[in-house]
């Protein structure tokens, strides 16, 4: 009886695995690309004959030795709804409400992932969302260390006021404008991941082809256990200077007893937030944070309160090598210290802590706001916001979890490879924030990714992307800007065929990396596509730097895509955002005047102009030049002097 039951279970298991099926992307409400051959694929029993039908066409094929099959239907014009069916002796699968139209792949990091429900004026926008011929497919979060054959889950959603809130906002506003102009079905194939770097979206073959990424590609792990070993060695190298060093309790005791060397620790911008995103990628366990506190003499003689944000798990606090607090607290942790606990001048504060309990997924890191980190006697308050450093404990029990940017290619393998070769018109891309620390390398890695995707699809499809918006400080060119250098890399990518770029520095938010005006972003991408791919007239590009000439002490800048002239969005008509440098390479904020479609730039201290820059900062909030058609002038520089990220490379 047991033998028969075992045979029955095996038969059922084999039958369920071998039954003919379509790839997950082919589901009810799918939109297939018009005017191109239509690839359809799936699985059946090895060697089994499969019949596939769509819109009056029938294709026959045979599953290969791995059970995979594929057919290509002749191109169709926009229309539907149709049915798609795959049938074989092992069974059949039937897909309903199939439309033929325009399909765009939407990818990148969080600004592409940003949903309509969190964009500006959602309550108004969802009233204009009854578009049943716009459909959205979101590829769910998965990692893989090798290319996957199929997605695990997924469904196409029909656009309505009830569903649009979860759509990619940039993609939806793009699609809505296309639909209103073209009146054909629009499919949004949405595969993005917040915080992802470009290396995560490359195939291993692409990385191997690029000398600067080849070494990383050759050591890509085959298992997560192997990945953990590589991460452990990386952290030993980073924090001890030797990947083979075996840290001991004695090593880490130095952090607490006042004899520690914190020079190799990671500097963080603020004390709160997940350490997973601050350089301790994937690490789960105990951690350390430290800060020097400069205490004035008049504060030393008084009782003080030390506030250290919110951490709901075990924490030990050490001051100048002595423990001053330990245990678990709820809410903002405040420590009452008697007079003369501190010493005049620099004091070393070190904290040892575990990952948060609530929420459990948070990992290492604190909560709270800027106001929750201070030292005070009730009158004087020293803010303890900046200049913290962090490090992991590699001695206490710890582990590494799969997460974004831990292993190159891991997002490509799970979230892109299974989509190939689904028919698309082109791709929309919004990413770069996570690569701004190594912007020079983006000159190579970004075009590499575009060419890699086109090679995989075997088609040089249109690729339109969003230039980085404004976020962070508005520093001068003398300080340099990684974000400006990333924008430059994106601009230079326009030299590759069938590319386009939407400039968005005017609609960013210097205080928030996620600006909520996604409507204008979608619109600026839409006009590029409408012009380049659908033959509609009208201005579609921001003005771009063309060339620099010098007359006396004036630098004269001319532009492309400014045939109708330029304007300054300023009630006094002042042009802002320009800097000028001479042979000494020192930049000055300059005077600038618009003359038609050119701009004259000068400064009294620059008698021999050599270089002009515009909007060359992380958040160029004062830059205010537009074409008379309303498109913002793209940031640029006329020089090629080394920047702040020129030596920063991908090293995983």
pLDDT tens, position by position, 119-167: 999 999 999 999 999 999 999 999 999 999 999 999 999 999 999 999 9
**pLDDT at residue 40 in the model:** 98
Residue 331 included in any domain: yes
Closest CA to 337 of 352, 353, 354, 349: 349
Distance (Å) of CA 365 to CA 314, 357, 359: 12, 11, 11
On the question of pLDDT at 224 being above 80, the answer is yes
* Number of independent structural domains in the chain: 2
Give 3-state DSSP helix, strand, coil % of the chain, rounded to 5: 25, 30, 45
Only one residue has tokens 């200077």, namely 241
Judge contact between 250 and 256, C-beta under 8 A. no
Measured CA to CA, the distance from residue 493 to residue 518 in angstroms comes to: 23
Mean pLDDT over residues 335-341, rounded? 97
Residue 511 included in any domain: no
- Range with the poorest average pLDDT among 158-162, 277-281, 546-550: 277-281
Give 114's pLDDT tier (boundaries 50, 70, 90).
very high
Residue 163 included in any domain: no
On the question of pLDDT at 388 being above 50, the answer is yes
**pLDDT at residue 652 in the model:** 85
Judge contact between 640 and 510, C-beta under 8 A. no
Judge contact between 274 and 365, C-beta under 8 A. yes
- Domain that includes residue 381, residue range: 226-400
Judge contact between 530 and 523, C-beta under 8 A. no
pLDDT tens, position by position, 41-82: 999 999 999 999 999 999 999 999 999 999 999 999 999 999
Closest CA to 397 of 361, 354, 448: 354
**pLDDT at residue 306 in the model:** 97
Last residue of a domain, one of 400, 430, 462: 400
**pLDDT at residue 361 in the model:** 86
**pLDDT at residue 1 in the model:** 42
- HSE, side-chain direction, 13 A CA sphere, residue 276: 21
**pLDDT at residue 651 in the model:** 86
Judge contact between 195 and 277, C-beta under 8 A. yes
**pLDDT at residue 16 in the model:** 42
Measured CA to CA, the distance from residue 140 to residue 464 in angstroms comes to: 23
pLDDT tens, position by position, 472-505: 999 999 999 999 999 999 999 999 999 999 999 9
Last residue of a domain, one of 371, 400, 429: 400
Q: Could you tell me what percent of the chain has a pLDDT over 70?
A: 97
Mean pLDDT over residues 438-445, rounded? 98
On the question of pLDDT at 6 being above 50, the answer is no
Measured CA to CA, the distance from residue 649 to residue 24 in angstroms comes to: 37
On the question of pLDDT at 607 being above 70, the answer is yes
Give 14's pLDDT tier (boundaries 50, 70, 90).
very low
Give 269's pLDDT tier (boundaries 50, 70, 90).
confident
The residues with which 84 forms a beta bridge, in sequence order, are: 54, 95
pLDDT tens, position by position, 183-214: 999 999 999 999 999 999 999 999 999 999 99
Residue 259 included in any domain: yes
Residue 493 included in any domain: no
Last residue of a domain, one of 349, 372, 400: 400
Residue 324 included in any domain: yes
On the question of pLDDT at 553 being above 70, the answer is yes
Residue 585 included in any domain: yes
Instruction: Please provide the distance, in angstroms rounded to a whole number, between the alpha carbons at the two ends of the chain.
Output: 55
Residue 190 included in any domain: no
For the entire predicted model, the pTM comes to 0.92
pLDDT mean across residues, the chain: 95
Give 8's pLDDT tier (boundaries 50, 70, 90).
very low
231 Cβ neighbours under 8 A, 6+ residues apart: 281, 282, 283, 400, 406
Helix axes 169-182, 519-532, angle to 10 degrees: 40
Give residue 574's Cα distance to chain centre.
Answer: 35
**E strands, 312-462, where?**
315-319, 322-327, 332-337, 345-353, 365-366, 373-376, 381-383, 388-392, 399-400, 426-430
Give 18's pLDDT tier (boundaries 50, 70, 90).
low
Give the CATH number for residue 300. 2.60.120.260
Measured CA to CA, the distance from residue 412 to residue 144 in angstroms comes to: 8
Mean pLDDT over residues 80-92, rounded? 97
Tokens found for residue 462: 């249109």
**pLDDT at residue 330 in the model:** 87
Measured CA to CA, the distance from residue 500 to residue 168 in angstroms comes to: 20
């Amino acid at each position: 009886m047991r033998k028969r039951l075992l045979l029955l279970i095996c038969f059922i298991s084999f039958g369920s695995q071998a039954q003919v099926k379509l790839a997950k992307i082919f589901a009810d409400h799918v939109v297939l690309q018009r005017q191109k051959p239509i690839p359809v694929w799936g699985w059946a029993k090895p060697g089994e004959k499969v019949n596939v039908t769509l819109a009056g066409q029938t294709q026959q094929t045979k599953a290969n030795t791995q059970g995979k099959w594929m057919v290509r239907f002749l191109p169709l014009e926009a229309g539907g709804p149709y049915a798609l069916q795959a049938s074989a002796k092992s069974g059949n699968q039937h897909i309903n409400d199939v439309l033929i139209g325009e399909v765009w792949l939407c990818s990148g990091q969080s600004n592409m992932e940003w949903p309509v429900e969190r964009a500006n004026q959602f309550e108004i926008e969802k009233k204009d969302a009854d578009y049943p011929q716009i459909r959205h497919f979101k590829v769910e979060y998965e990692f893989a260390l090798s290319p996957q054959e199929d997605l695990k889950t997924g469904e196409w959603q029909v656009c309505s006021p009830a569903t649009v809130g979860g759509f990619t906002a940039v993609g939806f506003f793009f699609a809505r404008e296309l639909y209103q102009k073209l009146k054909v079905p629009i499919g949004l194939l949405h595969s993005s991941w917040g915080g992802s770097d470009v290396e995560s979206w490359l195939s291993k073959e692409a990385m191997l082809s690029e000398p600067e990424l080849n070494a990383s590609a050759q050591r890509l792990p085959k298992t997560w256990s192997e990945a953990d070993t590589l991460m452990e060695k990386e952290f030993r190298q980073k924090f001890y200077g030797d990947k083979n060093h075996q840290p001991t309790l004695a090593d880490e005791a130095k952090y607490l007893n006042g004899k520690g060397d914190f020079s190799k620790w990671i500097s963080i911008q603020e004390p709160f937030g997940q350490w997973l995103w601050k350089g301790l990628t994937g690490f789960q366990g105990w951690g350390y944070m430290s800060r020097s506190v400069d205490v004035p003499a008049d504060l030393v003689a008084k009782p003080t309160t030390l506030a250290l944000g919110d951490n709901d798990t075990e924490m030990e606090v050490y001051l100048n090598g002595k423990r001053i607090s330990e245990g678990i607290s709820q809410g903002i942790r405040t420590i009452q210290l008697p007079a003369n606990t501190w010493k005049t001048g620099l004091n070393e504060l070190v904290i040892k802590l575990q990952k948060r309990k609530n929420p459990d997924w948070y990992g290492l890191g604190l909560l709270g706001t800027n106001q929750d980190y201070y030292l005070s006697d009730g009158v004087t308050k020293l803010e303890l916001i900046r200049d913290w450093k962090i490090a992991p404990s590699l001695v206490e029990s710890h582990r590494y979890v799969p997460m974004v940017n831990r292993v190159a290619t891991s997002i490509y393998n799970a979230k892109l490879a299974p989509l190939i070769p689904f028919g698309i018109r082109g791709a929309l891309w919004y990413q770069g924030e996570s690569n701004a620390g190594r912007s020079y390398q983006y000159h190579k890695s970004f075009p590499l990714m575009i060419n890699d995707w086109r090679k995989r699809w075997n088609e040089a499809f249109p690729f339109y992307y969003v230039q980085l918006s404004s976020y962070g400080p508005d520093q001068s060119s003398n300080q340099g800007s990684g974000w400006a250098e990333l924008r430059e890399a994106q601009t230079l990518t326009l030299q590759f065929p069938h590319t386009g770029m939407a400039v968005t520095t005017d609609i960013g938010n210097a205080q928030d990396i996620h600006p909520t005006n996604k409507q204008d972003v979608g619109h600026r991408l839409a006009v590029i596509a409408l012009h380049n791919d659908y033959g509609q007239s009208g201005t579609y590009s921001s003005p771009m730097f063309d060339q620099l000439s010098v007359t006396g002490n004036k630098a004269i800048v001319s532009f492309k895509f400014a045939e109708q002239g330029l304007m300054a969005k300023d009630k006094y008509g002042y042009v802002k955002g320009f800097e000028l440098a001479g042979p000494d390479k020192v930049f000055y904020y300059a005077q600038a005047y618009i003359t038609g479609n050119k701009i004259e730039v000068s400064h009294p201290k620059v008698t021999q102009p050599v270089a002009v820059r515009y909007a060359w900062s992380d958040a160029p909030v004062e830059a205010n030049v537009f074409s008379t058609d309303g498109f913002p002038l793209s940031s640029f520089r006329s020089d090629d002097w080394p920047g702040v990220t020129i030596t920063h490379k991908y090293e995983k």
